A and B are shown apart, each in its own frame.
Chain A
Amino acid sequence: MDLSPILLSLETSVAATATVTLLGTLAAGWRVRHRGAAFELLDGVFLLPLVLPPTVVGFLLLLLLGRASTLGNLLYGLGLRLVFSWYAAVIAAAVTTFPLMYMTARAALEQVETPLVEVARTLGAGEARIFRQILLPLAWPGLAAGMVLTFARALGDFGATLILAGNIPGKTQTLPLAIFFAVEAGDTEEAVRWSLVTVAISLAALGALNLWTRHRTGLSMRVVQQD
């Protein structure tokens, strides 16, 4: 039995979660400090991947990054062939999960009480330091929840991955793709096997993440109290 879909699913989900956690939190941190109609509009763009069906997201990414596009052609000229690569699978999962991280991170950061931030500011702390030492530790439980959602959704991405990364066993064929093609081929046994593996991984990963978050939450609370 070829186990590559399991490994590929874990690799792409972890890579996508790492990317999205960083970008989503930074974007949310930046957004919290800016208000106005233009930013509301930007929110719409950020949330688009959540509203659109994943296959549409995949198709739009293919139009954007495919060789027929200006950007894709430029990248191709630089020797970067993204479509049908492992990176395409990560990009697909990252784009579809970005709104989940962004929204949760924004809500978490917004809930941090402003007096704390303002006190820090009057005491001369820079924005970067405020973000690192006050916002992040206090918003941590929310950020962790965002990471859990991101990982869960990344593990399950099918439509965007299929269209942008293609279905290449050992390279881009993640568990959802393996399941889909087993069902299409009428191989119920294989489909059930992969589905059970997916359920097991999801439960294990979510359980582990929850444990770790609780641990981290305890830590960060202590850090804040000591400061």
Chain B
Amino acid sequence: MPNRRTALFVSLVLLLTAPFVARVDAQQPQITVAAAISMKDALDALEKRFSERAGAPKVTFSLGASGILQKQIEEGAPVDAFISAAPAQMNALEEKGLLLAGTRRDIAGNRLVLVVPAGSTAVKTLEDLKRPEVQHIAIGEIRSVPAGQYAAEALRNLNLFDALQSKFVYAQNVRAVLTYVSGRDADAGFVYETDAKSTDKVTIAMPLPASSYSPVVYPAAVIRNSQNAAAAKSFLEFLSSPEGRAIFERLGFTTPSK
């Protein structure tokens, strides 16, 4: 029965091509955002809310260390927007003319805090770090980890850096600092407030004086080569809208002053 065979053949073809057809059908605007991995929790929450808007573009993230993302964008990675953990990486892209003019903005801020293992009472202030029973202080590696750069800047301004330097364990990222302190292998450490709030195994001993280090800000911008600049712009605008700000604040981020 040739009819039956034809029907079988047609349905097979339909079945195999359906995923491609579905892709074409569902072609709503789509953007890729390269973002600092330290913002993962916040971005997931923000994207979820953003996707509920009518006609909102679909947002996919490429998460990583800001420095690596910066290099990828410089090499022409097909990215529509970039959210960096520190201004330095964004400045580098701006100097190379890779940002869409007028789209750069600071979307969130953070505070640096001194954390100690939960239940520890040995350290209450920065001065206490000098005491002999404090043997190891975890800090992000100063040349490469932004959190370490801010902490070193603060300690230098407070004239504590030289006295404490011999106790430093230099971590490869701010999350490693958190691991060392929460395991009580380091007696104290410097992390962002948002990191400190992500676990109950550490306690915030004190925030670092805001005047002692440069403001921690997360800059965002649309990339000049974006094929979907309008959609990317609408996502960044959502991030700094009151609704977006509220989500950032709920997770411990601050609102940038600029």
Contact = CB atoms under 8 A, between A and B. Distances in A.
Given A81-B135, A184-B143, A187-B143, A167 B169 contact: yes
Interface stretch (A60-68, A96-104, A114-122): A60-68
Contacts of A72: 185
Contacts of A166: 136, 138, 169-171, 180
Nearest to B135: A81
Given A81-B135, A185-B143, A186-B67, A66 B184 contact: yes
Nearest to A59: B179
A169 B139 CA distance: 13
Nearest to B173: A184
B172 A162 contact: yes
Interface string B5-48: 00000000000000000000000000000000000000000000
Given A84-B136, A181-B141, A187-B143, A67 B183 contact: yes
A67 B136 CA distance: 13
B183 A66 contact: yes
A184 B141 contact: yes
B20 to A, nearest CB: 37
Interface in B165-192: 168-172, 176, 179-180, 182-186
Contact of A181 (B136, B143, B169, B184): B143
B144 interface: yes
B194 to A, nearest CB: 22
Interface residues of B, number: 21
Interface centre among B135, B168, B169, B185 (most CB of A within 10 A): B185
A32 interface: no
Interface in A148-194: 162-163, 166-169, 180-181, 184-187
A184 B186 CA distance: 23
Contact of B172 (A168, A169, A180, A186): A180
Nearest to B145: A184
A83 interface: yes
Given A184-B141, A184-B144, A168 B169 contact: yes
Interface string B131-167: 0000110100101110000000000000000000000
A65 B24 CA distance: 54
Given A83-B185, A180-B172, A184-B141, 18 more contacts: A62-B183, A66-B183, A67-B184, A67-B185, A81-B135, A84-B136, A84-B186, A166-B138, A167-B171, A167-B172, A169-B170, A181-B143, A181-B144, A181-B170, A184-B143, A184-B145, A184-B172, A186-B67
Interface of B: 67, 135-136, 138, 141, 143-145, 168-172, 176, 179-180, 182-186
Contacts of A181: 141, 143-144, 170, 172
A-B pairs, top 6 by smallest CB distance, nearest first, are A185-B143, A184-B144, A166-B169, A67-B184, A83-B185, A185-B144
A224 to B, nearest CB: 50
Nearest to B136: A84
A168 B184 contact: no
A121 B104 CA distance: 82
Nearest to A81: B135
B183 A68 contact: yes
A116 B17 CA distance: 70
Contacts of B144: 181, 184-186
